[in-house]
Structure 1
Amino acid sequence: MAAHTTGTTVTARQPRGLAIGIDIGGTKVAAGVVTPTGRVLARRRTETPDKSKSPKVVEDTIAGLVEELRAEYAVSAVGVAAAGFVDERRANVLFAPHLAWRREPLRDALRTRLGLPVVVENDANASAWAEVCVGAGRNTCDAVVVNLGTGIGGAVVIDGRLYRGRHGIAGEFGHMTVVPNGHRCECGNRGCWEQYASGHSVTREARELVAADSPVARPLIQAVGGDASLITGTLVSELAAKGDRACIELLEDAGTWLGVGLANLAAAFDPELFIIGGGVSECGDLLLEPARRSFRRALTGRGYRPEARVAAAELGNEAGVIGVADLARDALPRRRQGRRQRGLRHCAPRERRGR
């Protein structure tokens, strides 16, 4: 016998405590219905509205995906992961580089429109939360997650809790200065970490090799017909996986810089684990082994202190959806969650863990 909620037909066999996660990136909007154990029951995907369009268009896109999913599933909350600065109340998007959001009150707008509790979270925080709960960091409570894409994003989990900073925008590791007066960054500064260890940096270096008609880059030159503008990070990764020496060296260079930045983060946070996610991390050990070697060389007090592990993320593109759905569920009042519907991770306090 079917149970009914407003506008939704729900079968009796549906799990309790379902939440919808929405992950908004520069090119796509992904949505999913997520169980309290992190399983994605249903997925939807559409293109991200053009940056020049109004915030209302993005809101319409989110609402449309939620309504489509809640027509089939009884959900308790909605989480939205946004690529941008989100305030400490997880209500307003202060700035989003790929969208027309500037101090946008997204949480309240969606809550009024959908009639559901809504949480807005930075996308790197959401992905990190999923990874430490059900991904590569599921047995740790102190981890730093670094996402390598076009730039570098990140998040910190301390004692089983996301660390957001006083204003909600902690974890912007990509804009640490690692080379004074180095490459110009889109943020306006020079020498930012993401200019040396991101997908953008790999692409830039590969294009410079092709533009110089370097003899070490023959396979790369042939692959793009001599047109450097056609080079992508994906192409470099594919050629590296096939054994092309120049492309392998490009990834080694990025990995070396990645390790330098991880050593800096280790000095600041002393985590048990670094989780490396994002599209560039799909290069695997071609990137991570140089990063581990560089990390060990640059680590303060090396040889006399415990060394954090460096591991690849496990959840791929679904991390943001899983993480933000759980964060939305966990923000519900306890009386609405029930004993078995709380968030994925609840570490015991440090003193009770014998640490």
Structure 2
Amino acid sequence: MLQPDSVEQTAGMPTKMNSSSIRRLNRVRVFHALRQNPGSSQRELGRLTGLDKATVSVVVAQLQQEGLIERMASTSVRRVGRPETALTIAASAGVLVGARLEPKTIRMVATTLAGEILAHMQIDGSRNVRRAITLLQKGIQELLTQAGENREVRGIGVGIPGMMNREGRLVLAPNLGWRNSEIRPMLEENLNAPVYVDNDTNAASVAECLFGICRTVRNFIFITGHSGVGGGLVLDGRLYRGTGGFAGEVGHLSIVPGGRACGCGKRGCLETYVSEASILARLEELGRTLPDIWAVAEAQGDPKVRQVLDEVGTHLGFALSHLVNLMNPELIVLGGNLAVIAQLLMPTLKRALAEHTLRPLLEDVRLEVSPLGADAVPMGGIALALEGFLTSSVVMAEERSQRRG
């Protein structure tokens, strides 16, 4: 799992470790330990989090008072003495919504606070920001109806394929055509719930740490491909954002000098060869028209499809070799729509990776496909919403306590 200070960065919280920050971090630790280990006792939560008995007791009491967790009779054999009760995330605690905004599609998922998927759906998107927000608003209403839930929406997390600075401002989303947009206030105004926004791949990287295969991995690269290609960089257990918050723009690594024109204004960027839109366009050039990446996977026996997939694997392996040589990660995770064709890319991808990567670093790294699949970014939205809700609810509790004092 991401280090606690990275969790705060993800939720837009300060990283200075004052007493208030420590309380928030303790709350996050206890909640996630219980989410990943349902039925744990307070004693077990202490062991899982490394927190002392008194701290765990205070956090559990607060979460229970707020209706976020509940006690239930334990069926396991305990030591002699006072019987311990098992704890679990309350099913009635609320609903989270995660979304991925793309030029042509909006993909959404609704979950419980424990991360259990209640419903997911995909609708048409738009490059017009106001139109996209309207579509998202209607889509969320339909999603919640599909989920059959009447519980409070605790937070909405949105992953956007664009450059987000550390203050949460959307600086550039070339595939959407959005620039310098205060997207979060616009979303909150229309969605009537707390909204948390981040770069789509950063969000998906957090989801891998909370819900996926990277819970115990401290150094990994997450690569996702939709309208573009993005990279999330987790170094020593922390999501690396860079000076301005723009780190991870893997899709704009130049792999073919003077190559295909990219929406960013440059040429030869990785995403002009590896993104879903680029794959479909390349197949169109070869006289093979397919609607989406799922159709590409189904047509894998077609010689033209095989040719394009081999080209994609070669380009992706070449780009990833540079990242491996720089970062020495233990894991590369392919997610989003890349996960749909990942196994088809592996032969050429691994060959290119081996050709261009220093051998000692190559021996350290392994390739995996995200279990979150096409829902990686929407689940990233869930991760953003969950972390934002957990930390902001502590702030509200502290404010209530101060008013009573």
Q: Same fold (TM over 0.5)?
A: yes
- Structure-2 separation of matches of 1:335 and 1:118: 12
Deviations 1:62-113 (A, max 9, x none): 34445563972223222122222222122x3223335464322222233355
- Structure-1 separation of matches of 2:202 and 2:325: 21
- Structure-2 separation of matches of 1:170 and 1:205: 28
The letter for the 2-side match of 1:238 is E
Structure with bigger helix share is 2
Q: 1:253 to 1:45 in 2, by over 3 A?
A: closer
- Structure-2 separation of matches of 1:82 and 1:257: 24
Q: 1:265 to 1:101 in 2, by over 3 A?
A: same
Task: Check conservation: 1:93, 1:102, Cα contact below 8 A.
Answer: yes
Please give the TM-score of this superposition, normalised by the length of structure 1.
0.73
Equivalent residue, structure 2, for 1:327: 384
Q: 1:86 to 1:236 in 2, by over 3 A?
A: same
> Which region of structure 1 is more displaced relative to structure 2, 17-26 or 168-177?
17-26
Alignment equivalent of 2:298, drawn from 218, 238, 260: 238
Q: 1:58 to 1:157 in 2, by over 3 A?
A: same
Q: 1:322 to 1:286 in 2, by over 3 A?
A: closer
- Structure-1 separation of matches of 2:175 and 2:255: 25
- Structure-1 separation of matches of 2:215 and 2:136: 29
- Structure-2 separation of matches of 1:233 and 1:43: 18
SS class of match (1:331): helix
- Using the TM superposition, give the Cα deviation of residue 310 of structure 1 relative to its aligned residue in structure 2, in angstroms: 1.0
Equivalent residue, structure 1, for 2:152: 74
Q: 1:15 to 1:290 in 2, by over 3 A?
A: farther
- The answer to whether 1:86 aligns with 2:143 is no
> Which region of structure 1 is more displaced relative to structure 2, 110-119 or 265-274?
110-119
**How is 1:197-212 mapped onto 2 (pairs within 5 angstroms)?**
197-208=274-285, 210=286
Runs of at least 4 residues off by over 6 Å: none
Gaps of 5+ in 2: 1-88, 396-405
- The answer to whether 1:317 aligns with 2:379 is no
- Using the TM superposition, give the Cα deviation of residue 171 of structure 1 relative to its aligned residue in structure 2, in angstroms: 1.5
Equivalent residue, structure 2, for 1:29: 106
Matched pairs, number: 303
Deviations 1:310-333 (A, max 9, x none): 111221222222221222221246
RMSD, matched Cα:
3.1
- Using the TM superposition, give the Cα deviation of residue 128 of structure 1 relative to its aligned residue in structure 2, in angstroms: 2.3
The letter for the 1-side match of 2:230 is G
- Using the TM superposition, give the Cα deviation of residue 25 of structure 1 relative to its aligned residue in structure 2, in angstroms: 1.6
Equivalent residue, structure 2, for 1:60: 134
Please give the TM-score of this superposition, normalised by the length of structure 2.
0.65
Deviations 1:303-352 (A, max 9, x none): 476421111122122222222122222124647269xxxxxxxxxxxxxx
**How is 1:151-230 mapped onto 2 (pairs within 5 angstroms)?**
151-208=228-285, 210=286, 228=287, 230=289
Q: 1:166 to 1:72 in 2, by over 3 A?
A: farther
- Structure-1 separation of matches of 2:256 and 2:282: 16
Task: Check conservation: 1:17, 1:329, Cα contact below 8 A.
Answer: no
Alignment equivalent of 1:256, drawn from 301, 314, 317: 314
Q: 1:201 to 1:59 in 2, by over 3 A?
A: closer
The letter for the 1-side match of 2:313 is G
